[in-house]
Amino acid sequence: MKFNHQPMLRVSVMLAGIFALNAFAADGNSTQADEPANATSEPQTGTEAATNAEQPLPLGPKTCGELLDYAVTSVTTEITNAEPIQASVSSPWTSPDGGGGSVDVTSPICRIAGSIKPTRDSDIRFELWMPLNADWNGNFAGTASGGSNGYISYRAVNQHLSMGYASIGHDNGHRKEETDFALVEARKIDFAYRAQHVATLVGKEITEAFYDATPQYAYYNGCSQSGHHGMMEMQRYPDDYDGIIAGAPANDWTGTLAAEANAALAQWSNKGAGVSRDLLAKVGEKVLQSCDGQAGIDHLQDGMLDDPRKCNFDPASLQCDTQGADSTACLTQPQVQALRTALDGRRNTSGDILAMPYLAESLAGSFYPTDQTSPTSPQGSWANHWSYAVHGNPTYDFSNFDWPTEVAFARGKEGPSYDAINGNYSVFANQGGKFLMYHGWADSLIPASLSLQTWDRMNAQMGKEKVDSFARLFMVPGMDHCGGGSGASSFELMSSLADWVENDIAPDSTSVANTPIATREANTETGIEAMTRPLCPFPAIATYSGNGDVNAAENFSCSQP
């Protein structure tokens, strides 16, 4: 689709061995390239970048060290490091931390690092890790980091590398400590949508130069703001990837941060409304007592809910009934109202949604705001976005936050750059692209209701038949933000996506072969047992057969609720 799929250039075993040795012969210590003089202050459009990408590449494979002097043609780029990494299981190489944690690489790779400069003010730092020719699966994978973070997600890059992909990640165009990046227009645009696109162009070009072969397929995989990048690629740059995975995607960036602000400000703005993490845990216990395994609400008592929208929980059920009651065990009236505000969401006088609601199971999650949350110590990216991007004012006073005007202003001013919400992805679908979206029902940062809204919008814009031809949504019981929580929340969807793109096998969970499996590890300290569960395409749920271990996936099937 995106690559003019030509047959992979395969070499004999002998030549592959020679190439592998040659690729690691250079020491990678040549002089860094100067910043190109043709960088401009104007954003490079997708069309311009695509045109540049069509320029002919030098013939023949490049060694890893030679790539330090490689002149990227697709987007102005400075390669600052090109080093062969001789890693193994017995002698791993540990990556830099970068802000998101380091990882151990256990196979030899060519590591490329550099900075992409689509404008003079841009500085999108990236790393591309490429396995030896013999270990390369012939494909390319992209990812990014979550939140407003400015670091390379080495964990995600390494995950794709371990599956044989030439794997790229980037830092969204700013550093972790640069919370004010949105005050610079170019860097704001890089973060909102451009960084992923140009990193993809550059990554593909360098991959082809290294292997002397065009990748057969390109896949994107990310969660949270990284998922937002995936949906932005599908909307703005449908030619970049053949398949996209977007978890808890925050594609409605304005709506996501409005929901986070609504939950946080409901506690912060009202005296005595803040709720401690310990008390929120008690709220979570009450939610499960009220709904888990209850007839007509949830089909199995297992510490999680099939669909928490069916749980009509009222925080008032935990309200202190007497003056002077133990405030560590019950909710005050202001606390009840604060949680109700988050569960109800927020609308204007015309009924238009300003902030999507959280679901009851989210209240006990590790990302949900507490009495310690404030505009200067937020959970999520809402405060920085409103201060820097929306108002351009680092000292913006949230006590003046007026819901109808603030959300409308943010949507109008920054929505065109940040929000991937048009709902019509026909160009991507018509080219054979496949899309997998997932979200934890118990997500305590980005409400699951936002992904359901996206799914409804897609079906309304494109029609159910068209959506079914290229997309699946997996709602994961008990899962918090991008993982964790009480449910089986560890799973790998890249194989399912590739199987759909390359072999036309959709992950419909109708057989062992096409059913993704989620796992939960045991924790002896907390008494948590290991668990496996099938992932079911929404609106189907994993239904217990009535026989066998309730923690074993083989005793569940996907059925309509």
H helix intervals, 74-174: 154-162
| Straight-line distance from the first to the last Cα atom of the chain, in angstroms, rounded to the nearest whole number | 37
Compute, in degrees rounded to 10, the torsion defined by CA atoms 98, 104, 107, 110: 10
Give me the residue label for tokens 């008032």: 316
Q: In this predicted structure, what is the pLDDT of residue 448?
A: 98
Cross-sheet strand order for the sheet of 434-440:
77-85, 109-116, 124-131, 166-170, 140-142, 218-223, 243-247, 434-440, 471-476
**Burial class of residue 412, CB neighbours in 10 A (0-12, 13-18, 19+):** exposed
For 157-200, the DSSP string reads HHHHHHTT-EEEEE-TTS-TT-TTGGGSHHHHHIIIIIHHHHHH
How does DSSP classify residue 389?
A: I
Q: Domain extents for the chain?
A: 58-215, 256-416
* The two structure tokens encoding residue 504: 């036309």
Q: In this predicted structure, what is the pLDDT of residue 9?
A: 32
Give me the residue label for tokens 């590449």: 57
Q: Torsions phi, psi of 269, nearest 5? A: -80, -15
pTM as predicted: 0.89
Amino acid symbol at 489: S
Give the 3-state secondary structure percentages of the chain, helix then strand then coil, rounded to 5.
Answer: 35, 15, 50
- Whether the CB-CB separation of 115 and 179 falls below 8 Å is answered with no
For 236-254, the DSSP string reads H-TTS-SEEEEES---SHH
Dihedral over Cα of 421, 423, 426, 431: its sign: positive
Apex 388 CA angle, 386 and 394, nearest 5: 105
Question: In this structure, which long-range contacts are made by residues 457-460, counting pairs with CB atoms below 8 Å and at least 24 apart in sequence?
Answer: 457/421, 457/423, 458/423, 458/424, 458/425, 460/423
Q: In this predicted structure, what is the pLDDT of residue 60?
A: 52
Amino acid symbol at 484: G
- Whether the CB-CB separation of 260 and 380 falls below 8 Å is answered with yes
CA distances, 555 to each of 47, 136, 241, 511, 548 (Å): 51, 37, 36, 13, 6
Q: In this predicted structure, what is the pLDDT of residue 30?
A: 32
How does DSSP classify residue 331?
A: B
- Tens place of pLDDT for every residue, the chain, 561 residues? 544 433 333 323 333 332 333 333 333 333 333 333 333 333 344 333 333 444 443 445 789 999 999 999 999 999 999 999 999 999 999 999 878 889 999 999 999 999 999 999 999 999 999 999 899 999 999 999 988 889 999 999 999 999 999 999 999 999 988 999 999 999 999 999 999 999 999 999 999 999 999 999 999 999 999 999 999 999 999 999 999 999 999 999 999 999 999 999 999 999 899 999 999 999 999 999 999 999 999 999 999 999 999 999 999 999 998 766 788 899 999 999 999 999 999 999 999 999 999 999 999 999 999 999 999 899 999 999 999 999 999 999 999 899 999 999 999 999 999 999 999 999 999 999 999 999 999 999 999 999 999 999 999 999 999 999 999 999 999 999 999 999 999 999 999 999 999 999 999 999 999 999 999 999 988 889 999 999 999 999 999 999 999 999 999 999 998
Listed residue (267, 290, 291) closest to 279, CA to CA: 267
3-state secondary structure of 439: strand
- Whether the CB-CB separation of 268 and 341 falls below 8 Å is answered with no
